[in-house]
Structure 1
């Protein structure tokens, strides 16, 4: 009797493997074929070659999944958990590695007949799908997300070892965020087979108002913030008026920043005289120790003189004007111009934007000199007219200076919840 049953099982397995019985019956009974398929190796598992791991109803389904999956050349089947590992290496690969696992079966797909996959034979389904027979038509069923498509999360590195070429739908991959951010970000494999991710959340304030919210007792002083619009670039900022509901951001200057509107006129280059009468009251000098900036745009508030020493009527920040004489046809007169401004941002972590331009304003005005040094951290202007000179075109914009090495201990840093 036992020999008769064994013979029936062998006949049944032959029929299943050669596509001579219905696949649905095979799925309910295929566990009987495990011991009767000569090209299935027991207790063996292919290592470090996984495309995808998924749960199936049995050995035959695992084989059909491999036939329906591009680049699948072998599979592991865990008979206890009914887990199917599809592999991109076969036992013929010179670098193939196998291990001993009692509950596993291994087989190269080349031994399995294409007819087992029915209408999915020689399918053209995308990489992250499995071809599933559906009557007389093949269906490309999304099976997961390709690990080659894992998103590059800004300011983070993968915190998970990913060896498979594809991960199942619903998989969540973890990333480790860099300092100044909350520690973890994730990427999720969605139903469409595409990754979506949650980025690293900033833990450091991005404005003086957030500094105050993070540390309500914070006084005026230097703090570290990060700027989202500048790829979270870290900036040492001076927070002013912290006892108010609207503190302001200032950049502390470490070198002389000054402007001069001279009290002299040399209209015909024949000798200096007192300031020409129509220009009286416009002369003055200014020295800045801090400049007010907008942390969203890093535009300078050229009118703000909160931290400036002023003499008479000073020029605005980054403006160079005089009333020294008329410059005909935009040509500098032999006795030159005297309106001057020096911007020096060395040691602040910022430079004047390379796209920043200056334009002439006023009567018979000209730019005699406009020099940039230290990668744009220092701007020297000499402009003039009668009365006139040069001013920034549009906003005076700053840009990060990654060459500046600022001591982290020179400002207070908060990590907020």
Structure 2
């Protein structure tokens, strides 16, 4: 499949059997409506397998009023329905072999035939034609954008959605910026989650120096979840607060940090720890603590951590049997530890 836009000029003979008769319709398209080698990312609300051709993919999309565009994989014959269309910079049309992307409005009357031709079902229902009648079937909400579309709400808050249609469990997701066209999904953390950068001076193992680096602790109360990939957006700090309380680092002087005149601004991402200490100092003092208990999610068992920086090392590492709690001490001179590639979550078994 070419990665350039295809000029889709063809006649399609569509036959579908009804209980008492067979209907054949010939449609001709002569428009630039397919983007070959392209895929819209992040807005899929449903995936349908074993779809024989792109025309049938377009029809199934048309039968769902919230489907405004689709991705079709000709090699694996599956169709992805999107609740958004290409609208830069909020949508990402990426290069993807074997895919084509198309807006459903470009198809016009080419697929508007049969009992579902007038799109009679409600916004989050699918229309299934049967003889001269049709059946409307309620479908799941799979994202905060779906919540906005299906419930006509603009209020931020917790909603139950089923992010992956093939799974049996729903998740409680916090929907943020629901008053925009592109709300975001967050997981509310019920336990303490934090990332720590130690202020111990790099030339020895006991002197504190708050003027070097960005020492402090950043607490995460909600984490941003890419609802399509289930990857945590570890750099999102929308729902965080920070602290440079000396007690967090074993100091008895409550004014130890205030004396520096600095503002407490640790910048560590979620699932990251760091320090900047002398090489002989043990254990390392950088730390991160992940606790997903009560969220219905676990850290994917495949996710690993690595140390980076001069003489960087992970001193201790703990992963609970359930993969819901992960904590580590790490650092270097200066150094840190963080997830390799991405921090992916999964439904709790």
TM-score under structure 2 length normalisation: 0.53
2:300 to 347, 353, 374: 353
1:252 — aligned with what? 188
1:315 — aligned with what? 268
Q: For 1:65-89, what per-residue CA distance to the aligned partner results, in whole angstroms no more than 9, with x for missing partners?
A: xxxxxxxxxxxxxxxxxxxxxxxxx
Aligned pairs for 1:233-244 (under 5 A) are 233-244=169-180
Query: For residues 210 and 274 of structure 1, do their structure 2 counterparts lie closer, same or farther at Cα, with a shift above 3 Å needed?
Result: same
Residues of 2 paired with 1:265 and 1:185: CA distance?
A: 68
Larger fraction in strand: 2
Aligned pairs for 1:10-409 (under 5 A) are 203-228=139-164, 231=167, 233-265=169-201, 267-269=203-205, 271-274=206-209, 280-310=212-242, 311-326=264-279, 333=280, 335-373=282-320, 375-402=322-349
Residues of 2 paired with 1:349 and 1:228: CA distance?
A: 14
Preserved contact between residue 225 and residue 235 of structure 1 (Cα < 8 Å) = yes
Secondary structure of residue in 2 paired with 1:213: helix
**Structure whose CA Rg is larger:** 1
Query: For residues 201 and 371 of structure 1, do their structure 2 counterparts lie closer, same or farther at Cα, with a shift above 3 Å needed?
Result: farther
Residues of 1 paired with 2:199 and 2:125: CA distance?
A: 56
Q: For 1:196-225, what per-residue CA distance to the aligned partner results, in whole angstroms no more than 9, with x for missing partners?
A: xxxx97722100001000011241011111
Q: For 1:110-132, what per-residue CA distance to the aligned partner results, in whole angstroms no more than 9, with x for missing partners?
A: xxxxxxxxxxxxxxxxxxxxxxx
Gaps of 5+ in 2: 1-123, 130-135, 243-263
TM-score under structure 1 length normalisation: 0.44
Larger fraction in helix: 1
Deviation at 1:312, TM superposition (A): 1.4
Query: For residues 206 and 343 of structure 1, do their structure 2 counterparts lie closer, same or farther at Cα, with a shift above 3 Å needed?
Result: same
Query: For residues 361 and 231 of structure 1, do their structure 2 counterparts lie closer, same or farther at Cα, with a shift above 3 Å needed?
Result: same
Deviation at 1:264, TM superposition (A): 1.2
Deviation at 1:281, TM superposition (A): 3.1
Preserved contact between residue 340 and residue 382 of structure 1 (Cα < 8 Å) = yes
Query: For residues 201 and 228 of structure 1, do their structure 2 counterparts lie closer, same or farther at Cα, with a shift above 3 Å needed?
Result: farther
Secondary structure of residue in 1 paired with 2:306: strand
Q: For 1:370-409, what per-residue CA distance to the aligned partner results, in whole angstroms no more than 9, with x for missing partners?
A: 101150101011101011121100010111113xxxxxxx
Preserved contact between residue 218 and residue 242 of structure 1 (Cα < 8 Å) = yes
Gaps of 5+ in 1: 1-180, 187-199, 327-332, 403-417
Residues of 1 paired with 2:266 and 2:191: CA distance?
A: 22
Query: For residues 284 and 202 of structure 1, do their structure 2 counterparts lie closer, same or farther at Cα, with a shift above 3 Å needed?
Result: farther
> Which gives a bigger RCO, structure 1 or 2 (Cα 8 Å, sep 6+)?
2
Deviation at 1:265, TM superposition (A): 2.0
Secondary structure of residue in 2 paired with 1:318: coil
Deviation at 1:183, TM superposition (A): 11
